[in-house]
Amino acid sequence: MTSEWPGNWADRISGEACEMCQSRRLDEDTYGIRIFETADVDAVLQRADIQRGYTLVIWRGRHVVEPFELTDSEAQAYWKATLTVAKALATFYRPLKMNYETLGNTVPHLHTHLLPRFVEDPAPGRPFPLLPQSGDESKIDPAKLASDAAALRTLLG
């Protein structure tokens, strides 16, 4: 089975058609609630009921696709923020394991999926079966999401 990259892939890679570059840095949007921010990084606790604590850490500096495109100081800032958020997720949700997925095959802009893994896991011992979000996924109860986000913001200072 073969498929093709999207027709506007070159524009996405260049940043010209990058949805993450075009999105504004909001405290809340249709995807989730921002729980952490620095000058160049946002962490957004996701609304989609895919996995408790599922969070995206998004590079908000200049458009880059790959981590190696960051300068040393940018890379230090990005990974420090990513690990800071992961530690807070691990402290709050107490998972068996944390997963870090930096892919960019759907949205070619540097971001990392942080996925806590639990006893009741859809794929124990294997990569999490994460699929692109369509917007139709069931959502976490808004009150629970807001409560978790507030607790995580407190942990993150």
For residue range 1-28, what is the model confidence (pLDDT) as tens digits? 678 888 899 999 999 999 999 988 999 9
For residue range 74-108, what is the model confidence (pLDDT) as tens digits? 999 999 999 999 999 999 999 999 999 999 999 99
Distance from the Cα of residue 86 to its chain's centroid: 11
With contact defined as beta carbons under 8 Å apart, do 47 and 145 qualify?
Answer: yes
Residue 6 inside a domain? The answer is no
Average pLDDT over every residue of 33-40: 97
Range of the domain at 104: 31-120+137-156
Residue 23 inside a domain? The answer is no
Confidence of residue 120 (pLDDT cuts 50, 70, 90): very high
- Looking at residue 74, the DSSP 8-state letter turns out to be H
Domain count, the chain: 1
- Give the per-residue pLDDT at 3: 80
Confidence of residue 137 (pLDDT cuts 50, 70, 90): confident
Residue 126 inside a domain? The answer is no
**pLDDT for 55 beyond 90:** yes
C-alpha to C-alpha distances, 70 to 55, 101, 135, nearest whole angstrom: 21, 17, 30
CA–CA separation, 34 vs 36, rounded Å? Answer: 6
pTM for the model: 0.93
Residue 8 inside a domain? The answer is no
